[in-house]
Structure 1
Amino acid sequence: MFTIEDLFHYSEDPTITRFVPREHPSHPGLAPAVWAIAHMQAPMYYLPRDCPRIAFYQKPDSTEEDIQRFLGLSSASMVIAIENRWYPRLLDTRLYQYTFSSDTFYCLDKPAGYYLSHEAVEPIDVMPMGDLLAKLSQEDVELRMTPSLLPLRDALLTSSLHFSMIRMRNAQVEDVR
């Protein structure tokens, strides 16, 4: 079992014994690092690695209008949207959860749950995730599927909600209507 201080990394490769700091393509201004995610935000990574996704949830200062517009009737604490074309990959992907001690990590973004270490890190545990759709259904999240993430991205950018846009470089670029 993990502790509240444990951090996670998700990979389709079950053989990693040491994580070495590397540059992040979406954050070129940051020094090379090992990235990890906190337990509360970990479901954002229960997806194929290259799957574009948008996760969003309420912040203390989110407006009632944005809460109703984006979260509507959902009782979930977080919504994760993916593109329809990734559904078959979601079903077929074998993902592994790596657990790290938080010793060498610092928090980069608390609402997003992102932690960084500038030192190499060895996992304290690795375990297969199994059925990812089942895993997502066991969390306090709602999974939404859409032909394109771009309209949601554009709308969330001006909202008062917290959002994480992951692997958007792989999002559907043409209009699919």
Structure 2
Amino acid sequence: MKLFHFSENSDIKIFNPRTIYDQTDAKVWTIDKYHAPHYYFPRECPRVCVWPKEDTKELDITRFFGMSHVNRMIAIETDWYDRVRKGSIYRYVFDSADFELEEENAGYYVARRPVTPIEVERIDDLVTAILDEGIELRITPSLMPMKEYVIESTINFSMIRMRNAKQE
């Protein structure tokens, strides 16, 4: 299995563990293949990603996927659309043998020692990359109303960089 890390920096030779937020132990963070499209965005872009789980209620499946019949959706704010459309990112590829599962629902894997990527790939057309994964991309003026619906639902979700979202 391959794992991935996404960056706007094209020349990272070695990934050293670091602490983020209020964590005390330093880690190198990667993501599995299924969840990787959640990171096909400029780093600071706020987004809400949703997909069903086994016990998701039919009402929530209809609410989030009823108009398009996809099984995953990512929403971003209107103000970020041009940056996503014109942006590019680098997908660093790692051998999973160097990592351990940190959070299954989000697809996070971590290493607690320095790791070297086995390859790096540039992704230029981020919108097409997302759509090619069969994911609906929604553009909305603000993520905050969706955030509230998602939190109260039975749907699986990941909310990334929400500190950068419009705080209505």
TM-score range, shorter chain: over 0.9
- In structure 2, distance between residues paired with 1:81 and 1:30: 31
What TM-score do you get using the length of structure 1 for normalisation? Answer: 0.91
Identity %: 43
Confirm or deny that 1:166 pairs with 2:166: no
- In structure 2, distance between residues paired with 1:53 and 1:120: 29
Deviation at 1:36, TM superposition (A): 0.5
1:78 equivalent among 57, 65, 72: 72
What letter corresponds to residue 93 of structure 2 in structure 1? T
The residue that corresponds to 1:9 in the other structure is 5
Please give the residue correspondences for 1:1-177 in structure 2 after superposition, counting only pairs within 5 Å: 5-25=1-21, 28-29=22-23, 31-174=25-168
Secondary structure at 1:48 match in 2: coil
User: What CA RMSD, in Å, does the superposition of the two structures yield over aligned residues?
Assistant: 1.1
What TM-score do you get using the length of structure 2 for normalisation? Answer: 0.96
Deviation at 1:108, TM superposition (A): 1.5
Q: Report the more deviating stretch, 129-138 or 52-61.
A: 129-138
Q: Report the more deviating stretch, 121-130 or 106-115.
A: 106-115
Matched residue count: 168
- In structure 2, distance between residues paired with 1:125 and 1:7: 11
Q: Report the more deviating stretch, 97-106 or 67-76.
A: 67-76
What letter corresponds to residue 164 of structure 1 in structure 2? S
What letter corresponds to residue 127 of structure 2 in structure 1? L
**Structure 1 residue ranges (4+ consecutive) displaced by more than 6 angstroms after TM superposition:** none
Q: Unmatched 5+ residue regions in structure 2?
A: none
- In structure 2, distance between residues paired with 1:115 and 1:74: 31
